[in-house]
Amino acid sequence: MPVTCITPERSSLLSFFLQSLLGRKAATPAGARALAGFDRRILVRAGEMQVTLACRDGAIEIHPGAVLPWDASVGGDLATMLGLGLGHNFLLPLLTGRLSFSGNPLPLLTLLRLFGAPDPAPSPAAATATAAPSLPTPPSLSPKA
């Protein structure tokens, strides 16, 4: 399996969300190409949860907490991070401070290639729902630097 949680019993929800998101994408040919030769550590923060993605040999290990040294970090509130994971545009949250990054941006661009909605898994609820106006944007949480 290309994406594994290290010590899953101690892993946070962020680990499991990332494992789901990245796991299915990494298993595709495009994902495998993105991971090929990619040897980096990326710290991901969502709210007060943080995990380190250790990418190496075409696989990703998700470690609980911050594992030093990391090459880059990206963080925001959980909803923003999950939106990023689903492939939503990252520019607006970046410009409004809901998303922040530090370190070498190149690994983050590779990570973005592994994001985006995986294969659709339609929900029964979707069958009865139609588009509704977006929620007015509530006050945002300050992402951790």
Partner 1 sequence: MTTPARPADAAAALLAAALGPDRVLVDSATVRQYSEDITEIPGHLPDLVVKARSTAEVQTVLSIAHGQGLPVVPVVANLNIGGLAIPERGGIVLDLAAMNRILEVNEPDQYMIVEPGVSWGDVRAKLDRDHPRLRFGYSFSPPHTSVMTNCLMDGLCNLSLLHGSTSEWINGVEAVLADGTLLRTGGGAWSRFWCTNSPMPDLTGLFINFQGATGVVTRMAVQLWPNRRLRRRLFVLAYDVDAAYGFVKSLMTEDVCDDIGGVTWPVIKLLFGQARPLFRDPGEPLVALYFDITANDERLMAAKRAVFADALAAARARGGRFDDPLDIEDLVKIEPRFVKFADFPTRFDFLLDHPGGGLTWIGSYGPTSQWEQGIRAGMATMEKHGFPPIVVTRPMRGGHFGVLRLITTFDKRDAEEVRRVRALNEALADVVVEHGFIPYKTPGWVVKRYAAQIDPGFLKVARAVKHALDPKGILNPGRWTLE
Q: Which residues bind partner 1 (CB under 8 A)?
A: 8-14, 16-17, 20-21, 47-50, 64, 77-80, 82-83, 85-86, 117-118, 120-126, 128-130, 132-133, 135-136, 138-141
- Tell me whether residue 58 or residue 116 sits nearer to partner 1 (CB atom): 116
Please enumerate in sequence order all residues whose Cβ is within 8 A of that of 19, keeping only pairs 6 or more positions apart, or say none. Answer: 3, 4, 5, 62
- Tell me whether residue 17 or residue 90 sits nearer to partner 1 (CB atom): 17
Query: Which residues on adjacent β-strands are paired with residue 5?
Result: 62
| Smallest distance, partner 1 to C-beta of residue 47, A | 6
- Tell me whether residue 113 or residue 144 sits nearer to partner 1 (CB atom): 144
Separation between Cα atoms, residue 38 and residue 40, nearest integer Å: 6
- Tell me whether residue 58 or residue 87 sits nearer to partner 1 (CB atom): 87
The secondary structure of residue 26, as a DSSP letter, is H
| Smallest distance, partner 1 to C-beta of residue 98, A | 9
Q: Which two tokens stand for residue 79?
A: 């909803």
Of 138, 111, 88, 108, whose CA–CA distance to 26 is shortest?
A: 111
